[in-house]
Chains A and B, each alone.
Chain A
Amino acid sequence: MQSWNGTVTNRKTIDSRLHSYYVRFVVIGILLGILVTVVVVFYSLESSRIMNSIYFVQEFFDTVKELDQQTRETLLLEREDTGEKIKDLSDAASQDLEYLEAMQIKGNYQRNIADLWLMYRDYLSEQEKSLYGEVNASEGIEQLQLLSSCIANKKEVLEEEIRRYYNRRRGVMSFDMLVLGILLVLTFLLAFLLIGENTENLAKQIVRPVKHLSEQAERIRGDEIETVYLNLPKEADVPVEIDTLGETFSHLLIRIGDQVTQLKETSRIREELKEQELENLRVLHELTSSELKCLQMQMNPHFLFNTLNMIQQTLYLDQKEKTSYLLKETASFLRYSLDYVGRNVPLERELEGLSYYVDLQEERLGDRIFFEFVLDERLNNWIVPCLILQPLVENSIIHGMAEKLSGAEITIRTQYDEKEGCGKISIEDNGQGMSAKKLERLKAGLSGESKVAQERIGLHNVARRLELFEYGRAKLEIDSKEGTGTVVTVLLREQKETEDGKGTDCG
């Protein structure tokens, strides 16, 4: 089967590998356990076999001694109740001798056992003859004594043989055990090395690909996801799970890479759009600024014309001081207008500029009109568009006070409305006012719903400038009552001034 990385593998799952390793280890462990058990059991059996043989030697000769004793007593005392016991002793001695005969010991051991058998059988034969009266009791006893003495002489020899055998076996077994111990240790060592090798292989088959995946994942952290290609080492024996992991990871990388590419493209497009939008805003702002400037520029000529007329009159009348004063005020007003054209200024500055205009109007209109400034100092630092109030005052003068020959009053009021959080600059006059219909029409024109009348272009100018000021943070309100007067109010949302107090540049 061809795996995702192009190598042909005989893949197994991790579980199957672990299972096979486990089986191997268990088999090895069982084998070694069996070996060790066999060795231990054998050693124990061998030791007990030798110990038993020494025991049986003692047992045999003790039994024969007792048998001889019983036989002699039977013969001497003519007892008849010892038959069973003598038989039991004979059988016991025979069994002991059989056990001893089964021992495989080289040298004289087997020969001595054979000799012992012969003597013992002779003894039993003589015993039988004596007990059954075939021979004289005393002769029998003498012969039996001879034979039992001969048998007893073998004891020392047999014990010595077994001791020698034990020493030989101990030496051989020690050597065998040493060899076996070395082999077992080597086998265990090799088994552990094999286990380690297998474990290492398995770990490598799992760890190395995972490590590689991890390294690739690290690269993904950077900005290289589109260039990360999964190239796991070509392990011929990668487990299925790892292979699947790698394949999935690879597909994931490709998909993520595609999506990242898309996102980047989208982001780039958005960036471009944003830039375009900013550019548009800038252009708009410039246009607005230009419009503002244009709007501002619209107002100045009317007033300038009137003021120059007035100066001309004073000059004609040779009123030098007045002329000088008028020129100075005019210059101040013009300077203000030129310096701050298209810009925003603190209200205080705007009021100062307005005061130049008001002074000039007072000079021109005399007692016909009375200007009053009612100011709330809390609004002094509020930022307003430059020359926003002069048109309103001019509008009051022109439209509100035109029919009044005297007693005209124009109040310029600034007020901070804490409740609504806004500032109000109102130009109040006690002029003729306007009808509701006219007011309605005026408001519609100012809001752009209808065309503004030419004579109201100043108001429209101010209204438009206020709309453009801080994107609608200010607006113009008009309230008028025919025959009473008109109040034009500039409403400002609370704002902060710039550090130099000169206002912000609309551009």
Chain B
Amino acid sequence: MKKKVLMLSFMICLSLTMLVTIHLAFFRGETSDFSEDKARYVFLAPNMEEKFWVNIAEGIRTADQEMGSDTLLVHYRYEDDLGGYIRDARLSGAQGIIVRGFSRGIGDTAKEEEIRKAVDSGIPVLLYDSDDSEGSRTAFVGSDNIEFGKTAARALVQEMGEEGNYLLIVRGIGIDTMRMRIDGVEEVMSAYPGVVLVETIEDGNDLLTLRQHLQNYLTEGKNIRGILALGGLSADYLGELLQNFGVDQEKMAVVVTDLTEQAAVYLTSGDYDAVIELDAWQVGYRSVELLNQYYSEGEEIASKNLLEAEVVTGDNLSRYTEERGNAELEWNSY
């Protein structure tokens, strides 16, 4: 009996060893799903770690898997080199380029020039995040900032009620995106005369400035019942500031934009009542979808492809925080 058990164990071990050895011996590398037949696109992003960019990349990867395309995820460190990356994408045979939009300014000529060359050579160039409608880009995929502002205002009214004072926090009134969002807010608030804007705070992306302004308004008996932050660093720090000032969460409606990780924490803790978020995953998915439709079905790509902003609360937060892509993101890093 003992001998039989030993022999059986030995044969099993030997067989397993041989199998593993054969497997190792004949292993010739990893499996790649790349195919020459797939449409090849390039996605250019300045950041490959923040949630916003990761979500876009995940949307792109999902669309690739569903539609059979291949998008190269490229992370660049230097904004000034973006023109070169667009050129590289063109010369490497990319059939579509998805790049972040930029405001026209000094140094952007090279980028625009490369975009133009790409478009002229028949390569669609899609901008996301912000649009440059005057440039040569093929289309924009993102949100309408006015609609974005409107959604935010409605969310605030929903939380604080149709009566009360509120503060508006922006990065800078002069920034186009901010301006458009403010316009959207004003348009909605005009329908609620009982909701009074006390002050528009420009934090200039500076925490100290924000703190000082908040302290002034929250401690001087201004009876502030709502805070609407349309960008900047509010999403990450407003919650902490309000805790420091001892603001009663139950009596203060707080709506911010940009669902950062910290914002998600404050949303969960109840410091924030809502976060207005453009679903970045949809940006990526929609971009690839447009390109594939362009190549496979010959559909022209609309110049503006606007996605609706969504109101994220504690109830539906998980939909935005969970990983929505199962593909491993491999970045080309420059």
Which A residues contact B (CB, under 8 angstroms)? 31-32, 35, 38-39, 41-42, 46, 103-112, 114-116, 118-119, 122, 146-147, 150, 153-154, 156-157, 160, 165, 168, 173, 176, 179-180, 183-184, 186-187, 190-191, 193-194, 197-198, 201
Closest 8 CB pairs of A and B: A104-B29, A110-B34, A115-B92, A107-B330, A190-B10, A106-B30, A118-B93, A187-B13
B21 CB contact (under 8 Å) in A108, A180, A194: A180
Of the listed stretches B1-9, B174-182, B262-270, B299-307, name the one at the interface; the rest are far from the partner chain. B1-9
A173 contact set on B, CB distance < 8 A: 24
Please determine whether A150 and B88 come into contact, CB atoms closer than 8 angstroms. Answer: yes
A106 CB contact (under 8 Å) in B6, B17, B32, B73: B32
* A-B residue pairs in contact (CB < 8 Å), sample of 9: A35-B21, A106-B330, A107-B330, A110-B34, A119-B93, A146-B91, A176-B24, A180-B21, A183-B13
**Shortest Cβ distance from B16 into A: residue:** A183
Interface residues on B, range: 35 or more
Q: What is the bound-complex CA distance between A112 and B94, given in angstroms?
A: 11
Which B residues contact A (CB, under 8 angstroms)? 2-3, 6-7, 9-10, 13-14, 16-18, 20-21, 24-25, 27-34, 36, 40, 70, 72-73, 84, 87-88, 91-94, 328, 330-334
Q: What is the bound-complex CA distance between A122 and B92, given in angstroms?
A: 9
Please determine whether A147 and B91 come into contact, CB atoms closer than 8 angstroms. Answer: yes
The total number of A-B Cβ pairs within 8 Å is 117
**Shortest Cβ distance from A156 into B: residue:** B334
Please determine whether B31 and A38 come into contact, CB atoms closer than 8 angstroms. Answer: no
B6 CB contact (under 8 Å) in A31, A32, A194: A194
A183 CB contact (under 8 Å) in B20, B30, B330: B20
Given contacts A150-B91, A157-B332, contact A180 B20 (CB under 8 A): yes
A115 contact set on B, CB distance < 8 A: 40, 72, 92-94
A105 CB contact (under 8 Å) in B20, B29, B334: B29
B94 contact set on A, CB distance < 8 A: 115
Q: What is the bound-complex CA distance between A107 and B29, given in angstroms?
A: 12
Q: Name, among A146, A147, A180, the residue most crowded by chain B CB atoms within 10 Å (CB to CB).
A: A180
A39 contact set on B, CB distance < 8 A: 21, 24-25
**Shortest Cβ distance from A122 into B: residue:** B91
Please determine whether B32 and A105 come into contact, CB atoms closer than 8 angstroms. Answer: yes
Please determine whether B20 and A179 come into contact, CB atoms closer than 8 angstroms. Answer: yes
Q: Name, among B7, B17, B24, B87, the residue most crowded by chain A CB atoms within 10 Å (CB to CB).
A: B17
Given contacts A157-B333, A160-B333, A201-B3, contact A104 B28 (CB under 8 A): yes
Q: What is the bound-complex CA distance between A500 and B91, given in angstroms?
A: 146
Please determine whether A190 and B330 come into contact, CB atoms closer than 8 angstroms. Answer: no
B32 CB contact (under 8 Å) in A31, A38, A110, A191: A110
**Shortest Cβ distance from B81 into A: residue:** A153
B40 contact set on A, CB distance < 8 A: 111, 114-115
Shortest Cβ gap from A177 to chain B (Å) = 8
Q: Name, among B14, B16, B94, the residue most crowded by chain A CB atoms within 10 Å (CB to CB).
A: B14
**Shortest Cβ distance from B333 into A: residue:** A160
**Shortest Cβ distance from B3 into A: residue:** A197
Shortest Cβ gap from B94 to chain A (Å) = 8
Please determine whether B29 and A103 come into contact, CB atoms closer than 8 angstroms. Answer: yes
Given contacts A31-B14, A118-B92, A190-B10, contact A104 B32 (CB under 8 A): yes
Q: What is the bound-complex CA distance between A116 and B88, given in angstroms?
A: 10
Q: What is the bound-complex CA distance between A193 and B94, given in angstroms?
A: 62
Please determine whether A187 and B14 come into contact, CB atoms closer than 8 angstroms. Answer: yes
Q: What is the bound-complex CA distance between A150 and B331, given in angstroms?
A: 18
Shortest Cβ gap from A142 to chain B (Å) = 13
**Shortest Cβ distance from B91 into A: residue:** A150
Shortest Cβ gap from B5 to chain A (Å) = 10
Please determine whether A108 and B17 come into contact, CB atoms closer than 8 angstroms. Answer: no
B2 contact set on A, CB distance < 8 A: 197
Q: Name, among A31, A122, A194, the residue most crowded by chain B CB atoms within 10 Å (CB to CB).
A: A194
A165 contact set on B, CB distance < 8 A: 30
Q: What is the bound-complex CA distance between A32 and B291, given in angstroms?
A: 56
Please determine whether A191 and B92 come into contact, CB atoms closer than 8 angstroms. Answer: no
Q: What is the bound-complex CA distance between A35 and B10, given in angstroms?
A: 14
Q: Name, among A160, A179, A183, the residue most crowded by chain B CB atoms within 10 Å (CB to CB).
A: A183
B9 contact set on A, CB distance < 8 A: 190
B330 contact set on A, CB distance < 8 A: 106-108
